[in-house]
Chains A and B, each alone.
Chain A
C-alpha cells in the first residue's frame, strides 16, 4: 500500500513541476526556435543527473531513523506549504496558477529580446536550461527523499519517469501549454500526500510509535485531506463575505 502511495506521490509531484518546465520550454522554442532551447533542455538534464548521482547514493549511507527524521521534517514543511497555497487558491485568497498567462508572458519576453547573429541563441539556451534545471531539482528532491526514506529510489523514479513520458509526450503532440491540467487540484493532492508521508516519517524518526504501525499511513491521509477540505470551506465563506462587504462599501461610496 505504501509503495502505491510512493509511486503516486512521485508521479503527481513530478507532473506538476514538469508542466511548469514545459510551459517555459514551449514559450522559448515556439518564439525563438527549437535548436538552442533543446540544447538547454539536454544540458539541464545532464546537470540534474550529475546532482542526483552525487547526492543520491550518499543518502543510503545515513541510518534509516535519522534519514526518516530529516526527510520527514523536510517533507512535512514542504507539503504544508503546498497545501497552504492550494487552500488559499481554492478559497479565492490567492490567484490560480495560469499556465496560459505564464506562456504568453514568457513568449512576449522571448520575442522582445534581441537575437544573436550566430546559430546558437544564448537567451533560449539559458531560459530553457534554467526552467528545466530548477523545476527538475524539485523533482529530484522529491524522488531522492521519498525513495530513500521508503527504501526504494527506483519506485519513486518510476513514478517521476511516468510523469516525464506523459507530460513530454502530450507537450510534443499539442505544442501548447497544458492549461487544462487542473494544477491546483494536483497541488492539493501532492500537498496532502507530502504532509502525510512527512507526518509519518518525522514521527517515526522522533521515536513515535504509531498505533497499527504502517497502517497509520492509510489513516493519516484521509485525516489530512478532510482537514484541508474543511479549511477550504471555511476560508471560501470568509472570502465571499469579505468580497460582498467590499462591494457594498464601494456601492455606498459611488452613490454618495
Chain B
C-alpha cells in the first residue's frame, strides 16, 4: 500500500506539479472546446488561449509574494 501511494504521488508530482489549477483549467478549457466543436462552431482558438490565460494566472500566483 505504501509503495502504491508513493507511486501515485510520484506521477501526481511529475504531471500535475506545483499548481493543480493548471490541470483543472486545461480540462475545463478542452470541455468547452469539445462542446463548441460538437455544435459546429470554430473552437481552435480555445486551447492556445487557455495556455496564455492559465500560464499567466499561475505565474501571477507564484510571484505574488
Give residues in A with beta carbon < 8 Å to B.
Answer: 69, 73-74, 76-78, 80-81, 83-85, 87-88, 93, 134, 137-138, 141, 195, 199-200, 202-203, 205-211, 216, 220, 223-224, 227-228, 231, 235, 238-239
Contacts of B42 in A (CB 8 A): 209
Chain A residues, CB < 8 A from B30: 69, 73, 202-203, 205-206
Please give me the residue from chain B that is nearest to A211 by CB atom: B44
B43 touches A227 (CB 8 A): no
A76's partner among B26, B44, B46, B63 (CB-CB below 8 A) is: B26
Q: Are A207 and B38 in contact (CB under 8 A)?
A: yes
Alpha-carbon distance A134/B9, docked complex (angstroms): 12
User: In the complex, given contacts A87-B55, A209-B44, what are 12 additional A-B residue pairs having Cβ atoms less than 8 angstroms apart?
Assistant: A77-B26, A78-B15, A80-B54, A83-B55, A85-B17, A85-B18, A195-B51, A199-B48, A206-B47, A207-B34, A209-B43, A235-B59
- Residues of the B chain whose Cβ atoms lie less than 8 Å from the Cβ of A209: 37, 42-44
Kindly list chain A residues whose C-beta atoms are within 8 Å of the C-beta of B18: 81, 84-85
